[in-house]
Structure 1
C-alpha cells in the first residue's frame, strides 16, 4: 500500500462504518479508524475527547480540516490528528456529510479512496435499536439528513459503493483493500 493512502467511509448511521473498519483492521492491521476530536458528551469510544478550548486553539492555528455538529456534539478532523494517523498506517475516516468529504479531500493532501456504505432507513432503525442506542430517533434524523445530502450532491463520486445489507463486513473490507491495491498499482504504473 502507498503510505499516503487513506479511506473515507461515508454513510448514514448504522450503515456499517464501525463494523467494516473492524473487518479491515482484522484483515490488515495497517488500517486504523481515525479518531476524530469530539467536544461534548456521550460515546467516547472511537474518539479523542477534547475541550472547546482545544478546538478553538486548533481553529486559530488553521489545523481544523473539517468540523460538524451532530447529536449536540462537535466532531473535528484536525491536521495533527491526521498526520499521526498517516504515520501509523492507513487511516479510515468516518463521515456522514459530503461537505466533510470535500473538505478532507481538498484540505489534506493524500490519496483518498471514498467509499459509500449504504443501508435503508429501516435497517438503520433496527441496527440502532439492536445495539442499544438511546438516541435512535436522532440517528434516524441523521439518516434523513444523509439522504438529503446525497440527493443534493448527485454529482458526488464514489470509488466504491457497498450495500451493507447485501455484503458482509469481511466482503466489504476485501473490496476496499482491493480498491487501494488497484489505486496503488495505478499510481506506480
Structure 2
C-alpha cells in the first residue's frame, strides 16, 4: 500500500462518469478527473491531446500503463500523467475496459477504489441523444462492448456498484467518498 488513493470509475458510455466526477469534485476539491492522453481527433475537453510521436516516446520509455482505441482515437494512461495527477490530489480515472482496470491496478502502485457505474442500454441512448452526441450509435456499440466485457470477466471485483438511474450524482459521490474514507481507515488500523 502506497498511502496514495485513487478512484477508477468503470462503466458504459453515458453511465455518469463525468457527472459523478463533477459531484465528487464539488464534495471535496481534492478529487480531480484524470485527463487521459488522447491521440486523435474530436472532443478535447477532459483530455490531454497528444501526438503519435508523444505516444511512441512514452512507449519507448515504458511509461504507457494502458492504452486502448475507440471512436478512431487512442486513449492512454501514462505514468507521467498519473504522477502529476497524484501530486495534485486524488485522481478519478474513467475506464470502459476491465483489462484497463487490471493494467492500472497492477501497473501503477496506489490504493485504487474500483467503482462500477451502471445504467441500462436505454439510459445510454437517452442520455447520449439528450446531450447532443453525434455518435450515439457508436456509444451504444460501446455499451454492448462493455456488457460483453463484464460477461467475459465475471470475477472482476468492484469495491462499489452504483446504478446511476437510481442514485443521484451527489449520492454516488458521497458513497465513493465514504468508501475511500473507510479504506484509508482500514489501512491505518
TM-score (ref. length: structure 2): 0.99
- Other-structure match for 1:44: 44
For 1:82-102, what per-residue CA distance to the aligned partner results, in whole angstroms no more than 9, with x for missing partners? Answer: 000000000000000000000
- Other-structure match for 2:114: 114
- Other-structure match for 1:4: 4
Contact 2:7–2:90 (CA under 8 A) maintained in structure 1:
yes
1:75-86 paired onto structure 2 within 5 Å: 75-86=75-86
Give SS of 2:166's match. Answer: coil
- Other-structure match for 1:89: 89
Contact 2:39–2:52 (CA under 8 A) maintained in structure 1:
yes
Gaps of 5+ in 1: none
- 2:15 is aligned with 1:15: yes
- Other-structure match for 1:147: 147
CA-atom RMSD in angstroms: 0.8
Would you say how many aligned residue pairs link Structure 1 and Structure 2? 188
Give SS of 1:165's match. Answer: coil
- Could you tell me how far 1:111 is from its partner in structure 2? 0.1
- Other-structure match for 2:176: 176
Contact 2:65–2:108 (CA under 8 A) maintained in structure 1:
yes
State the distance in 1 between where 2:110 and 2:69 align: 25
**Off by >3 Å, runs of 4+ in structure 1:** none
State the distance in 2 between where 1:188 and 1:47 align: 34
TM-score (ref. length: structure 1): 0.99
- Other-structure match for 1:125: 125
Gaps of 5+ in 2: none
Give SS of 1:112's match. Answer: strand
- Other-structure match for 1:138: 138
Contact 1:97–1:146 (CA under 8 A) maintained in structure 2:
yes
State the distance in 1 between where 2:159 and 2:52 align: 35
- Could you tell me how far 1:3 is from its partner in structure 2? 5.4
